[in-house]
Amino acid sequence: MSIKVGIVGAGGMADYHYDGFTLAGAEVTAVADMNMARAGAFTKTRGIPGVYDSLAAMLAKEKDMEAVSVVTPNKFHCPVTLEALSAGRHVFCEKPPALNAREMEEMLAASQKAGKTLMFDFNNRARPEAQAMKAYIKSGKAGRINSAQARWVRRAGIPGFGGWFTTKALSGGGPVIDLLHMIDLALYFMDYPEPAFLLARTFDDFMGDKAFKGPWGIPDAANGITDVEAACHAFLTFKTGQCLAIRNSWAEMVEREAVSVIFQGSKAGGKVERLFGRDGIDSTSIDSCELFLCENGNQVNQKIMTEKDETMGRVGAAANFINTITGKAEPLNKPEEALILMKVIDAIYGSASSGRPVELK
Ligand SMILES: NC(=O)c1ccc[n+]([C@@H]2O[C@H](COP(=O)([O-])OP(=O)(O)OC[C@H]3O[C@@H](n4cnc5c(N)ncnc54)[C@H](O)[C@@H]3O)[C@@H](O)[C@H]2O)c1
């Protein structure tokens, strides 16, 4: 019998959840969206029988549904996840895990209480390049990672003005929280060490300038709110002695969009990168995985060639959730890691607003 899954939120990301779940042999039996027309359009093209306007309505009817994925705007990640966990369902939730660490603490406690799996869509971990690099690091050949740089910077990538992405109360923040993928990937490569201190600055330039809007996101809302940062620079130290530099932006005078984690180990360094095409879309991008080595006294750069994945690991990450709950795979991420990540995000906003370093506890 295949696992039955329901999707909450039939927006842009729901396609990848559907593809990943079905790839892993699960059956998507229903979709809930407060916008019934959207849910209806999604289910119709895929022959999904259940269409609901809320998670509560879906759970009341779909008694044999074992898992739920949360693909709503960020503000609803915590309440929808708590509702699904307390109804005894496993949960796969989009990133960011929550608006802040306090919410994430509640979600972690709820998953423990329910004894159910809680995973997040840190899809960049599922990229073939990231898995190849993680395997290399795990083999010990890179030695200890001393330092890393995580960056997802966009020159003109504001995802629409006045919609939920740019309204702090709905999104939790701008590029710091939206583009947290490379911070998570760097921490994953470093084995999620315990953070110590963080110092950050954020900048708001260009947040009212339509020339800095990206080719993706949601339509502008005429009277909507735009009150999030445009760019962030931060530096994080860990109790282990390691350190991480962070750069995230939607609008900043950078050369071009750049998405990478670079690290320096005691035996080797490495870089996992995605270079988007000029149009900034996935299908024209180039992914790479490169090692920086000293072999027999020679300084060499060596590429690790992996299969291409235009979805940036999104399908693989959703498939891993199903394979985790069916016992066929180890989870690609754990809620305890998501809590550390949300503490780092909180510290970035805390330090940027106070102008002082933050000690993470
Ligand atoms: N992993 C990635 O690469 C990636 C990329 C883009 C977006 N995301 C994340 O995916 C999530 C959704 O983004 P999107 O671009 O699909 O958004 P979207 O705005 O296109 O769609 C969200 C949908 O959720 C519905 N919705 C809102 N609140 C709801 C609720 N309480 N119950 C039921 N339905 C509800 C809306 O009606 C809408 O149809 C966000 O958290 C975003 O950060 C992840």
pLDDT tens by residue, 117-161: 999 999 999 999 999 999 999 999 999 999 999 999 999 999 999
Is the confidence at residue 283, as pLDDT, over 80? no
Contact criterion met (CB below 8 Å) for 69 and 92: yes
Domain that holds residue 54: 4-120
- The answer to whether the beta carbons of residues 30 and 53 sit under 8 Å apart is no
Q: Is 76 in the pocket of ligand 1 (CB under 6 A)?
A: yes
Residue nearest to atom 4 of ligand 1 (CA): 13
Contact 340, 187 (CB under 8 A): yes
Residue 272 pLDDT: 98
Residue 41 maps to a domain: yes
Q: What is the mean pLDDT of the chain?
A: 96
Q: Is the domain of 142 the same as that of 276?
A: yes
Q: Measure the CA–CA gap between 338 and 184, rounded to whole angstroms.
A: 8
∠ Cα 64 75 168 (to 5°): 165
Q: What pLDDT, in 10s, does the model give residues 84-113?
A: 999 999 999 999 999 999 999 999 999 999
Q: Residue 216 pLDDT more than 90?
A: no
Atom of ligand 1 nearest to the CA of 122: 1
| Length of the chain counted residue by residue | 361
- Ligand 1 pocket: which of 68, 69, 71, 93 to mutate (most atoms within 8 A of CB): 71
Residue 220 lies in a domain: yes
Are 344 and 360 contacting, i.e. CB atoms less than 8 angstroms apart? yes
Please, are residues 187 and 244 in contact by the beta-carbon 8 Å criterion? Answer: yes
Please give the pLDDT value at position 219.
Answer: 82
Same-domain pairing of 146 and 285: yes
Mean pLDDT throughout 251-263? 94
State the pLDDT at residue 251.
97
pLDDT bin (cut points 50, 70, 90) of residue 215 is confident
Number of domains forming the structure of the chain:
2
Query: 197 in helix, strand or coil?
Result: strand
Q: Is the pLDDT of residue 280 over 70?
A: no
If asked whether residues 55 and 146 sit together in one domain, one would say: no
Q: How far is the CA of 156 from the centre of ligand 1 (A)?
A: 21
| pLDDT computed for residue 246 by the predictor | 98
Q: What are phi and psi of 57, to 5 degrees?
A: -65, -40
CATH number of the domain residue 238 falls in = 3.30.360.10
Q: State the Cα–Cα distance between residues 81 and 87, nearest whole angstrom.
A: 10
Query: What are the helix (H) ranges across 31-100?
Result: 36-46, 55-61, 77-86
Q: CA 84, CA 64: separation in Å to the nearest integer? A: 13
Residues 304, 177 share a domain: yes
Q: The domain spanning residue 47 has which CATH number? A: 3.40.50.720
